[in-house]
Amino acid sequence: MTDNDVVVTGKELAAYIGCRPSYIVELKRNGRLVQAEGGKGYLKSASLALYEQTRDPARAGVAARHAEARGAALAGEGSDDQDDADEPQTSDAKRKAKALADKAETDAQMAQIELAEKLGELLPRADVEQAISEAGTGLRVALERIPDTLAPQLAAATDEAKVRQLLWDELMHALEEVSRGFRAATSAGDIHTGQDK
Quick: pLDDT tens for 107-149: 999 999 999 888 888 888 888 888 888 888 888 988 898 899 8
Average pLDDT over the chain, rounded to an integer: 80
At 144-166, the pLDDT tens digits run 988 998 899 888 888 999 999 99
Residue 164: its pLDDT value, please?
93
From 196, 189, 177, select the one nearest 126 (Cα to Cα): 189
CB–CB of 13/35 below 8 Å?
no
Q: What's the rounded Cα separation, in Å, for the pair 122 and 189?
A: 9
pLDDT band, residue 78 (cuts 50/70/90): very low
User: pTM above 0.85?
Assistant: no
> What pLDDT does 81 receive?
43
Fold observed for domain 7-76: Multidrug-efflux Transporter Regulator; Chain: A; Domain 2 (1.10.1660)
157 and 169 Cβ atoms separated by less than 8 Å: no
Structure-model confidence comparison of residues 119 and 188, the more confident one = 119
42 φ/ψ angles, rounded to the nearest 5 degrees: -135, 150
**Residue extents of the structural domains in the chain:** 7-76, 89-122, 125-193
18-27: average pLDDT = 87
Classified as helix, coil or strand, 133 is helix
The answer to whether 10 and 43 are in contact (CB under 8 A) is: no
